[in-house]
Amino acid sequence: MVAVSGLPEFWKEFSSLGQEVDYFVTARLFDGTPAVWPQELDYIRWRHLVAAELGVDPMAVQLVGSARLGYSMNPRKNFRRFHEGSDLDIAVISSELFEKAWGELREMIEDEFFSRNKSYLRKLVFEECIALDIVLPRLSFGEQWSRSRDLFIQDLGSAFRNCEVNYRLYRNHASLRSYQVKSVNIARDRAIEEGIHHG
């Protein structure tokens, strides 16, 4: 399967929102229903399910990434469009859980298991974001969150059966916004470099 870039689609949406990075983040990443959401499923209800399973407030749960926009904001993935093998990226905003995970991570980061990922993990913690894909099984709440993934996919139906759920834990809303703004800036710059902004 050839991955189709979503960069032209990004630029079209970005332009329709006045080419304002911060406004794009609010309008497309934090408000409304995700682009690839099943019509029959209520996104707010799904967020409540996720929040209840993870033990956080529903306002602390956001679907981000290609499932949210319909295309990836990651240049390493060539901004490709969402497809059946794409991940569902769930952002969880909780200062309490962030502090807990950070404390546990500080103890385990010296473990040989994480030796290849130390700089990556430190960078994310510095940005007040913890990607839980690597460390989740070793966190005190990891087992419960891992079990919950299947429930989240099951509730979405067969179109999402092959999707993997990834969590990112953010210290606060400002750190989530900052992370997303960086991604939009990168996509904007790439669209300009590639001349897509003229099309």
Q: Show pLDDT as tens, one digit a residue, over the chain (199 residues).
A: 567 899 999 999 999 999 999 999 999 999 989 998 877 678 999 999 999 999 999 999 999 999 999 999 999 999 999 988 899 999 999 999 999 998 888 777 777 666 677 777 777 677 888 888 878 888 999 999 999 988 888 878 777 888 889 999 999 999 999 999 999 999 999 999 998 876 5
Number of neighbours of residue 191 by Cβ within 10 angstroms: 21
- Judge whether 113 lies within some domain: yes
Chain centroid to CA 5: how far? 18
The tokens describing 53, both together, are: 């399973």
What residues pair up with 71 in beta bridges, in sequence order? 81
- Judge whether 17 lies within some domain: yes
Give the residue among 146, 91, 150 at the shortest CA–CA distance from 124. 91
The tokens describing 105, both together, are: 């991570």
Number of neighbours of residue 99 by Cβ within 10 angstroms: 11
| Separate counts of helices (H) and strands (E) for the chain | 9, 4
- Judge whether 34 lies within some domain: yes
- Judge whether 1 lies within some domain: no
What residues pair up with 166 in beta bridges, in sequence order? 89
- Judge whether 103 lies within some domain: yes
- Judge whether 2 lies within some domain: no
Domain count, the chain: 1
- Using an 8 Å Cβ cutoff, are 145 and 51 in contact? no
- What is the predicted pLDDT for the residue at 84? 84
- Judge whether 38 lies within some domain: yes
- Judge whether 133 lies within some domain: yes
Strand segments (E) across 70-150: 88-93, 129-131
Give the residue among 195, 179, 127, 167 at the shortest CA–CA distance from 21. 179
Residue with tokens 């409540």: 48
What residues pair up with 92 in beta bridges, in sequence order? 61, 169
Angstrom CA distances, 77 to 89, 97, 100, 139, 143, stand at 14, 29, 31, 28, 29
Domain that holds residue 90: 7-194
> What span, in angstroms and rounded, lies between the C-alpha atoms of 37 and 68?
8
